[in-house]
Chains A and B, each alone.
Chain A
Amino acid sequence: MIEKIIKSLIMFFFLYYLLILEMSYLPFFTFVSFAILLVLLVNLFEEPREKLGLFSAFFLGLIVDIFSSNYLGVAAIGFLLFALVLKFILFKYVRIPSISGMPKI
């Protein structure tokens, strides 16, 4: 449990500083957001049973809400739902053992 909390906290602060870096130092690399890419990759490559992808999507959404004119929670819940749907699709329909690590149904 503690390990999971630490993992999530590290993820939160990593995403927080990554987004600040993107907004302040690399503001013109708008064609790709490294933070969004990272969260997408975590969700794609972790086992569907794991929850780090969901947490990271939620945290990224929360940070995006903080640094945009959104109300808090709009992107946080939106990204979380997106990650949930992505995981579901990966589990149900994508049969790539290296990605899902799951036995075929």
Chain B
Amino acid sequence: MLLVYNQNMDAIFTKKRIIVLVLLVIFFWILSFFNSGIKNFFYSQSEKLQASLWQNGSNSSFSMQNQEELNKKLIEENQKLLSQLGDLENIQNENKFLREALDLQLNKDFELILGRVMGKDIAKDFILLNIGSKDGVKQGFPVVLSNKILLGKVIDVYPDYSRVMLITDKKSKIDVEIPDSKGFALVKGDGGLKMSMDMFPKDKELNEGSLVLTSALGGNYPEGMVVGKIKNVKNFDNEAFKKSDIELVFNLNEINNVFVIKNAEIYND
């Protein structure tokens, strides 16, 4: 018995194991040519399950809050909204009229593709969408929410699915502007759904809560998309620029639908 154990465990790499590993490497090298097809197959098998789990997960996040408090808040909000509804209807009619007159449809600037979130990647700052190359998605396309909030960009495209790198990923770098301060800076992802801002000029004022928007300088993202809000401004004497953290303006847990912006020729890297 001991002899068997010794044969197995005296060295990590026995002849047999090396052969198996080499065969595995060759096997996966061949599989890499069919990478997107294989992944697409597995995603299609688990799509329904993933989508329903994601939806249930985002719904259940509300149940963690105090239901009574939430109910009270909703009633108050409902009353407020009802009173605003009448006013809004008038404004909407006026707005519609003006839009038609000025030919300013919202989707004029961007051609959008609607996608649904299937799940969050095991590697943290990535999400999987149920739209792919068949729907016209290409690598580098920006992904936004309906209210112009920037979510990230498409990094992998499969026939029916695509993977989005969130702006909080460590590889993400965005040129931004802070309209309040009239200054430009660089926002970097720190991973784990966190971001920070750097390279903000020291001579300009930076206020907590100021909105951070994408600038046209980088060219990776459309101009004027909301990136987040300024939080924890750091102004050290020995550093040439001001720094700060960025507060996210979206809650990933509550996102179900996203838009992919199709204008690749303008915004690709």
Is B42 part of the binding interface, using a Cβ–Cβ cutoff of 8 Å? yes
Count, A-B residue pairs, CB within 8 A: 104
Question: Which of A20, A28, A73 makes the CB contact (< 8 A) with B50?
Answer: A20
* A26 close to chain B: CB less than 8 A: yes
Q: Is A91 an interface residue (CB 8 A)?
A: yes
Size of the chain A interface, CB-CB below 8 angstroms: 36
The interface residues of chain B, by DSSP majority, are classed as: helix
Q: CA A85 – CA B28 in complex, angstroms?
A: 21
**Cβ of A20: which chain B residues have Cβ within 8 Å of it?**
46, 49-50, 53, 119
- Name the A residues within 8 Å of B120 (CB-CB): 23-24, 27
**A68 adjacent to B121 (CB under 8 Å):** yes
Residues of A within 8 A of B176 (CB): none
Question: What is the minimal beta-carbon distance from B5 to any residue of chain A, in angstroms?
Answer: 6
Interface string of A65-105 (1 = CB under 8 A from B): 01111011110110011001101100110000000001100
Question: Which B residues are CB-close (under 8 A) to A64?
Answer: 122
B27 CB contact (under 8 Å) in A66, A73, A102:
A73
Bound form: Cα–Cα A66–B4 in Å? 35
Q: Determine the distance from Cα of A48 to Cα of B5 in the docked complex, in whole angstroms.
A: 8
The 10 closest A-B pairs by CB, nearest first: A73-B28, A27-B120, A24-B53, A24-B119, A23-B119, A25-B53, A91-B9, A25-B57, A24-B50, A24-B54
Q: Which residues of A contact B (CB under 8 A)?
A: 16, 19-28, 30, 33, 48-49, 64, 66-69, 71-74, 76-77, 80-81, 84-85, 87-88, 91-92, 102-103
A-B contact pairs, 13 of them (CB 8 A): A23-B50, A23-B121, A24-B51, A25-B53, A27-B57, A27-B252, A28-B252, A68-B126, A71-B32, A73-B25, A73-B29, A77-B24, A88-B12
